[in-house]
Amino acid sequence: MIPVNEPLLDGNEKKYLCECIDSGWVSSEGPFVKRFENAFAARVNSQHAVALTNGSAALELAVAVLDIGEGDEVIMPTFTIISCANAVIRAGATPVLVDVDPVTWNMDVAQVEAKITGKTRAIMVVHTYGLPVDMAPILEIASRHGLRVIEDAAEAHGLDYNGIPCGSMGDIGTFSFYPNKHVTTGEGGMVVTNDEQLAERCRSLRNLCFQASRRFVHEEMGWNMRMTNLQAAVGLAQVERLDEFILKKREMGAYYTQLLQGVNGIQLPVVRTDYAENIYWVYGILLDQDLPVNAKMMMDFLGARKIGTRPFFYPLHRQPVYQGMGLFVDESYPIAEYLSEKGFYIPSGLKLNRVQMVEVAEALNVGLDELVSPVLH
Ligand X SMILES: *Cc1c(COP(=O)(O)O)cnc(C)c1O
Q: What are phi and psi of 292, to 5 degrees?
A: -80, 40
Question: What does the CA dihedral 249, 254, 259, 261 come to, rounded to 10 degrees?
Answer: 130
For the bound state, the minimum distance from the C-beta of residue 211 to ligand X, rounded and expressed in Å, comes to 28
Q: Which residue lies nearer to ligand X by CB, 192 or 368?
A: 192
Cβ burial of 289 (10 Å; 0-12, 13-18, 19+) is exposed
Q: Which is nearer to ligand X, 155 or 160 (CB)?
A: 155
Of residues 246 and 363, the one with the C-beta less far from ligand X? 246
Considering the complex, what minimum distance in angstroms separates the CB of residue 290 from ligand X? 29
For the purposes of burial, counting CB atoms within 10 Å of the CB of 93, is it exposed (0-12), middle (13-18) or buried (19 or more)? buried
CA-nearest of 179, 197, 199 to 188 is 179
**Helix, strand or coil for residue 279?**
coil
- For the bound state, the minimum distance from the C-beta of residue 84 to ligand X, rounded and expressed in Å, comes to 6
Instruction: Tell me the closest approach of the beta carbon of residue 274 to ligand X, in angstroms.
Output: 22
**What is the C-alpha separation between 182 and 230, in angstroms, rounded?**
18
Residue nearest to ligand X (CB): 55
Among residues 84 and 286, whose Cβ is nearest to ligand X?
Answer: 84
Task: Decide: 167 and 175 in contact? Cβ < 8 Å.
Answer: yes
Per 3-state DSSP, what percentage of the chain is helix, strand, and coil (rounded to 5)?
40, 15, 45
Distance CA 288, CA 240 (A): 39
60 vs 72 by CB, closer to ligand X:
60
**Nearer Cβ to ligand X (83/204):** 83
Residue 32 vs 178, nearer CB to ligand X: 178
Residue 169's nearest CA partner among 136, 206, 212, 210 is 136
CB-wise, 86 or 293, nearer to ligand X?
86
Sequence letter at residue 114: A
Minimum distance of ligand X from residue 51's CB (angstroms): 12
Closest separation in Å from C-beta 106 to ligand X: 11
- What does the binding site for ligand X look like in residue numbers (CB under 6 A)? 54-56, 80-81, 83, 126, 152, 154-155, 176, 178, 189
Shortest distance (Å) from residue 231 CB to ligand X: 11
In angstroms, give the least distance from the CB of 306 to ligand X.
25
Within the chain, strands assigned E span: 48-52, 73-77, 94-98, 120-126, 148-152, 160-161, 164-165, 172-176, 189-193, 266-267, 283-287, 310-311, 343-346
Q: Which of 158, 308, 117 is nearest to 245 (CA)?
A: 158
